Structure formats: structure tokens, C-alpha cells
Chain A
Amino acid sequence: MLALYLREIRLGIRAGSGAMTGILFFLAVVAVIPFGVGPDLNLLARIGPAVLWIGALLASLLGLDRLFQADREDGSLDLLLMAGSRHMVALTVFTKCLAHWTTAVLPLALITPLLGIFMNVPPGGLAAATLTLLVGTPAITFIGAVGAALTVALPRGGLLVSVLILPLTIPVLIFGVAASRGAVAEPDPFLPPFLLLSALTLFFAVIGPLAAALALRGAAD
């Protein structure tokens, strides 16, 4: 499994453009918001955490469709599935998700504080947004794996993956934004939504790979 993780990380870094495109997309999404709502700094500060979350959510969906498709195109997927009795397929999926998260999504969470400055989010809000993104985005990747596995055989599944996954990510978004808002806005609590967010991530970390493994086995042809 470690071998698989290292290979995926290497691929993620060496193919290069993938992670970079995600970051660029995130930057661009956040940058167009002030044009849409006007440069009022107080307004931006108020919607800042939500914008950061939506931007990160959309950006983290970008490379997901390639998660299994690349392996299918070069035949690796067959071999990964055949090794099922040695390495449980769900575990293989979990490892691939983890590697994808490390190379493509973790950088998004790490540049969030910088983007928060553009949105005039106060320091407490920056820390909260980054923390909630670190905890919450793995859930998106794990849900995404299911969508990616379902559309693995489709030639242009990219958009379909996003359409399938977006409704499922709504709870993650709700609790993520609620927690990061709770850290700055006084009456709203921070801890309850944050704990729920963590629970969601753990839940999808189990359900996602299992469902994706099932879908991959069924998609073989």
C-alpha cells in the first residue's frame, strides 16, 4: 500500500500540471468574486469563509475524474483489481484517494490563508477556514472517488462526476462554512459543526472507498 501511495504521489507531482491547475482555478474563482459582489471590504469579510469553501470545493473536484480513468487507460486498473485477494480493493481505493488528496487538495488548503487576505477575512477566520478545509476536504475526495468509479468507463465523464458528487458534498459544505463562520461571528458556536464535519469525513472515509470498490468491480469489461 505504501508503494501505491508513493507511486501516486510521484505521478501527481511529476505530471505537474494537475495540482497547479487546481490552485490556479481556486485563485481565479476567489478573484472573480469581488468583481461580482463589488469591492466592499466588510461584505467580503462576511462572505469570505463561504467563498473560500466554495472555491476549494470546486477546485478539488477538478482532477477527480482522472482518479481511476488514467489507470484504466493504461491497464493498471485491471492489475490493481486482480490483486484484490492480496490488497482489498477498498483499501487500494482509499490509498489512491489519500494520495490524490495530498497532491491536489492539500495545497489548496495551504494557500487558503493567503486568499483569505484578499477577501479581508480576519486572522481568526483565516485559521478556522484553513482548519476546516484540512479536516473537511478529504470527505469530498472520498465521495468523489465513488463518482469517479461510476464514470470510469465513460469517455468524457469529467463533468458528470461533478454533477453526481456536488449534491452529496452539500452537508460537508454546510458544516465547513458553519464552523469557519462560528470562529469569527460571536453568537455562532465553532465546536459542534466542526465535530460534525470531522464525523462526516470519517464516515465517508469508510463508505466512499467501499462503494467505489464495488463500482469498479462492476465496471470491468
Chain B
Amino acid sequence: MNEKTVRRWTDIANPTRFLELAGAVLPWLWGATVLVLAAGLTMAFTAPEDYQQGITVRIMYVHVPFAWLSMLCYTVMAGSALGTLVWRHPLADVSLKAAAPIGAVFTALALATGSIWGKPMWGTWWVWDARLTSVFVLFLMYLGIIALTRALDDPGRSARAAAILTLVGFINIPIIKFSVDWWNTLHQPASVFRLDGPTIHPSMLWPLLVCAVGFTLLFLALHLMAMRTEIWRRRVIAMRRLSARAAEIKPLEAAR
């Protein structure tokens, strides 16, 4: 690493610099999100219906991106956790804390859409098969991490705890991914990311991919915004503590 790239990294690590950067990127990111999502959803509604499932197949175009994102988000958090523990990057903890609620919502949406899809297909809202159970465990992990990051007022102390918990929970991600291969489940096996190429028909694959890109952009935009809010929140806390200390000094001066 030459000196220049080192400087750039420390630049981004500086929260003020990050806030400026986020402020510049966010409008573009939101624009791209709206465009791609609109395109993706239009494609999803014009795509041909499945000869077996009929119109319910359209749930797939939101369900599958939600499910992917629930795992992507956790992976981002695990990366941030490494950043906290190994490099002590000041923004890593902010990133982890900001991502957790977003991940929890995406996971809940994946579970909910899956449930709505499962009712007409399998005849039940819920079964305890490996895929569904492991995603449910992921949801619980998210909630646990959220509870842990909110339990302590002091961000420095909660950061390490949350990072360790996130890394320990990361074991669950490969389990979710391969659960459909390892166990014989009601949930269908992977049809897009396979070693021997996708088995899904291109007329459905393209809308799905566009939707996935759209929702990923949405995630990035939300994540950046949440990180910005978290930095601001920490600054407000620091300023309030400062003003409490400043008020301590004044009466002393008045007495002299």
C-alpha cells in the first residue's frame, strides 16, 4: 500500500469526511434505486405466469431478493465486525449497528413473503424445515444483535460485544445457503446460483436479477442513511455530555 491509499483510508475513517461523502452519494444512490426497482417490478409484473403456480409465482420476485439481502446484510455486518475487532476502524461499529435493523426487516419480509407464498403452494403458512428454520434463527440473531447494541449507552463498550456476537452467528449463513442441499426440504433447492448454471428460465431470471439489483441498491441507500444517522446521534450524545460539563464550570466562575 503506498502512502496515498493509506491516506485515503484514514480520510474515509474520519466520520466528518464520511458524512460529506455520504451526503454526495446518497441522492444518486436513491435515484438509481428508484429507477432500477421500478424497472424490476414492471418486468416482474409483465413476466409470464408459471404454468403450475399461476400468479403466485410473482411473489418470487420480491421473496428471493429479500432472502438474498437478509444474508448479504449479515455478511456486511460480519465484515464490519472484523473491522471492529481487527482494524479498530471507527466506522465499522457504526456500520454494524446501522445494518442490524435493516437486516432484521429484510429477513422478516423474506419470512412473511415466503409464508404468503407457502400457503397456496404447500397448504400451510409455516413448516419447520431446514431452510425456514435456519432463516428464522437468522432473524433471532438479528434481534439479539439489535438488543445488544441498544443495551449499552456507551458505543465503545457495546461495539466489541456486538462484533463478537455477529462473528459467532456467521456460522448460520452457510447453513442457510446449503440447507436445501444438505437436507431433504420442502423448500426448493437453489435455481440461480449453481455451479452448473441457473435452471430458471431466462424470462423469469432477468426480472428477478433486476429486482435483486434494485433491492440491493435500496439496502445500500438505507445503510448509508442509517450510518449517517448513527454518527449524528453519537455526536448529539457527545455534545450533550459536553454541555453538562460546561454547566458545571459556570457557577464556579460566578462565585469568584
Contact = CB atoms under 8 A, between A and B. Distances in A.
Q: Do chains A and B touch in the complex (CB under 8 A)?
A: yes
A221 to B, nearest CB: 30
Interface string B110-154: 000001000000001111110001001100100110110011000
A24 B140 contact: yes
A34 interface: yes
B136 A117 contact: no
A27 B104 CA distance: 14
A117 B125 contact: yes
Contacts of A21: 147
Interface residues of B, number: 17
Given A16-B150, A17-B150, A17-B151, A120 B124 contact: yes
B128 A34 contact: yes
Q: Say what secondary structure dominates the interface of chain B.
A: helix
Contacts of A17: 147, 150-151
Interface residues of A, number: 17
A110 interface: no
A31 B137 contact: yes
A107 B140 CA distance: 17
Contacts of B126: 117-118, 120
Interface string A146-163: 000000000000000000
A118 B132 CA distance: 10
Interface in B4-25: none
Nearest to A17: B151
A31 B132 CA distance: 12
Interface string A107-139: 000000000011010000000000000000000
Interface of B: 115, 124-129, 133, 136-137, 140, 143-144, 146-147, 150-151
Interface of A: 16-17, 20-21, 23-24, 27-28, 31, 34-35, 39, 41, 44, 117-118, 120
